[in-house]
């Protein structure tokens, strides 16, 4: 066969183009295979939000307005607004600047809240790290070595037959595991659900913190009022004992009367140390809640009379409570994460495919790395299927399904507890109002008795001992009245907490939660 010089040149050009053409075709085929594999379905159950409980109310009978007590701080009647909404800063409804300052201080300085926020940042970063599995992994490497082959080697590595040489090899490696059965997608889904669980745990921490600060401040005010009343009772009993000692010395009173009064004074005095201990502990707790050392919190008093009792109380519909309570939302997210883990366990029992590619250059000198003839590349695909694992994968799948059943039961338990909290608080508010009315009536009657005793003593118709006895009884009713007032304030705060705390009206928190919900969908 006769070939011209042009034919030979064309033949050589065709030979040179063939590797490049084959390379492009291989890359194209690999890309098509990767796209087809990536379009695979995700095994395992698709999570569905639990339906809202099919109940119409929290109690057997709709809550009625509470009874009112006239001319008593905190004695106003309270009305419930079914379907009413909660403000995010519900504690401001007590109309106390001092209380507002304590809550704001806690939101900025409480270490438990800071720890919860840091945990949320950890969960968020773990989710973003998990999303990296959607993309190919690219690694750039450079190796350099100096090597000497034995003189008797049959085939030295370099083409120049040198036995002592340097070898430089830069290369780029690409690996990708197509998500054929949704293993990576279920992993990311689980991480997103775990992040959502931590998010609602953080919200629950904030709601609980604000409620605890309000309750601690109210209890501190109540204890201070009880301490003041107890000290007045001790003073009255001390004066009574002094009079009896005088009368005993003059022969107007017997030793039995003196001993009885001494016993009475000792009993009243014994009630003061426990109150002072509780007051100090309440002060220390309030300091820690606001992120301060006990020595740093000033002893500023917050009298109960400075608080305003909210009269119009919102009462969320039962169907919306499960969307408002952060602990319920956290339990739902835990159930979602467990559902995704079932898919992960199933996918682990199915074949895995991995695609790899390497490209680089190797030369005996740095200056020759990118010259013609030094490049190399390779493409590969691996298929691995578990055949025998001693039952490990099968039992891991069963364990994942059992974990989902556990999370589902825990969710139902959390919902029941949420409804119980609301029902208990509604009952407490009703009975608190009745108890306050009874305590107010007892205080009014004791005040009338004290006024009459003082008037009779001034007119000479009664002994001073009867006045002191009436004053002691009156101070005891004041203690009961203060406790009843504090219970109304505390249980009102408990209702706002039981209904979710209004976090959905906090712009930053609500936006973050809604954004994550949209991502999961």
What pLDDT score does 248 carry? 84
Residue 514 scores a pLDDT above 80 = no
CB of 297 within 8 A of CB of 66? no
* pLDDT given for residue 17 in this prediction: 42
CB 123 within 8 A of CB 188: no
Average the pLDDT over 383-403 and give the result.
Answer: 92
Report phi then psi at 95, rounded to 5: 55, 50
> Average pLDDT, stretch 339-343?
95
Q: Of the candidates 500, 513, 494, 490, which has an alpha carbon nearest to the alpha carbon of residue 207?
A: 500
Q: What are phi and psi of 150, to 5 degrees?
A: -65, 145
In tens, the pLDDT along 170-222 reads 899 999 988 888 899 999 999 999 999 999 999 999 999 999 999 999 999 99
Residue 278 has pLDDT above 80, yes or no: yes
The pLDDT of residue 155: 60
Residue carrying the six token digits 């559902």: 339
Give the global pTM: 0.85
Banded model confidence at residue 499, pLDDT cuts 50, 70, 90: very high
Is the pLDDT reported for residue 244 higher than 90?
A: no
Position 370 scores a pLDDT of: 78
> How confident is the model over 135-151, as pLDDT tens digits?
999 999 888 887 776 76
pLDDT at residue 14 greater than cutoff 50: no
Backbone φ, ψ for residue 54 (5° rounding)? -85, 65
The length of the chain in residues reads: 521
Quickly count: other Cβ atoms within 10 Å of residue 368's Cβ: 14
Cβ contacts of 509 within 8 Å, gap of 6 or more: 203, 206, 503
312: which strand partners? 79
Q: How confident is the model at residue 253 (pLDDT cuts 50, 70, 90)?
A: confident
Angle between helical axes of 183-250 and 464-498 (0-180°, round to 10): 180
Nearest to 215 by CA among 207, 385, 505: 207
Burial, 110: exposed, middle or buried (Cβ in 10 Å; 0-12, 13-18, 19+)? buried
Helix boundaries (H) for 271-391 = 272-289, 318-324, 326-347
Beta-bridge partners for 143: 169
What is the rounded distance in angstroms from the CA atom of residue 228 to the CA atom of residue 336? 54
Token pair recorded at residue 65: 């307005």
Residue 376 to residues 138, 160, 169, 366, Cα–Cα distance (Å): 17, 19, 10, 16
């Amino acid at each position: 066969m006769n070939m011209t010089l042009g034919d030979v040149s064309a033949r050589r050009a065709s030979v040179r183009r063939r590797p490049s053409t084959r390379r492009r075709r291989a890359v194209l085929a690999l890309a098509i295979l990767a796209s087809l594999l990536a379009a695979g379905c995700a095994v395992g159950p698709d999570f569905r939000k639990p339906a809202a409980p099919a109940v119409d109310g929290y109690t057997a009978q709709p809550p009625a307005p509470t009874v009112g007590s006239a001319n008593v701080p905190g004695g106003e009647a309270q009305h419930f607004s079914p379907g009413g909404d909660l403000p995010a800063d519900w504690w401001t409804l007590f109309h106390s600047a001092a209380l507002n300052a304590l809550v704001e201080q806690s939101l900025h300085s409480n270490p438990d809240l800071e720890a919860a926020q840091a945990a949320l940042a950890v969960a968020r970063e773990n989710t973003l790290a998990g999303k990296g599995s959607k993309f190919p992994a690219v690694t750039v490497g450079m190796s350099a070595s100096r090597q000497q082959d034995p003189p008797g080697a049959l085939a030295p590595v370099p083409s120049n037959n040198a036995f002592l040489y340097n070898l430089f090899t830069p290369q780029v490696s690409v690996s990708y595991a197509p998500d054929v059965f949704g293993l990576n997608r279920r992993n990311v889904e689980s991480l997103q659900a775990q992040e959502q669980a931590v998010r609602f745990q953080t919200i629950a921490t904030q709601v609980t913190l604000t409620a605890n600060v309000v309750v601690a401040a109210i209890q501190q005010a109540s204890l201070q009022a009880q301490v003041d009343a107890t000290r007045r009772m001790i003073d009255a009993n001390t004066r009574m004992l002094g009079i009896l000692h005088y009368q005993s010395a003059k022969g107007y009173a017997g030793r039995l009367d003196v001993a009885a009064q001494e016993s009475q004074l000792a009993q009243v005095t014994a009630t003061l140390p426990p109150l002072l201990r509780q007051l100090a502990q309440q002060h220390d707790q309030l300091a820690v809640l606001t992120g301060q050392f006990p020595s740093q919190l000033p002893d500023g008093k917050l009298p109960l009379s400075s608080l305003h009792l909210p009269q119009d109380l919102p009462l969320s519909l039962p169907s919306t409570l499960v969307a408002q309570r952060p602990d319920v939302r956290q339990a739902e997210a835990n159930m979602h994460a467990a559902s995704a883990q079932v898919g992960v366990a199933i996918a682990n029992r199915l074949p895995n495919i991995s695609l790899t590619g390497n490209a680089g250059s190797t030369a005996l000198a740095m200056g020759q790395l990118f010259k013609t003839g030094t490049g190399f590349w390779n493409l590969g695909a691996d298929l691995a299927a578990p055949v025998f694992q001693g039952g490990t994968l099968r039992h891991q799948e069963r364990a994942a399904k059992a974990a989902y059943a556990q999370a589902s039961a825990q969710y139902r338990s959390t919902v029941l507890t949420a409804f119980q909290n609301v029902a208990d608080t509604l009952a407490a508010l009703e009975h608190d109002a009745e108890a306050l009315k009874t305590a107010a009536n007892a205080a009014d009657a004791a005040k009338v008795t004290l006024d009459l005793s003082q008037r009779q003593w001034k007119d000479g118709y009664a002994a001073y001992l009867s006045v002191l006895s009436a004053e002691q009884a009156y101070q005891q009713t004041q203690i009961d009245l203060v406790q009843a007032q504090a219970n109304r304030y505390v249980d009102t705060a408990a209702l706002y907490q039981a209904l979710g705390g209004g976090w959905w009206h906090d712009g930053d928190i609500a936006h973050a939660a809604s954004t994550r919900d949209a991502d999961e969908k």
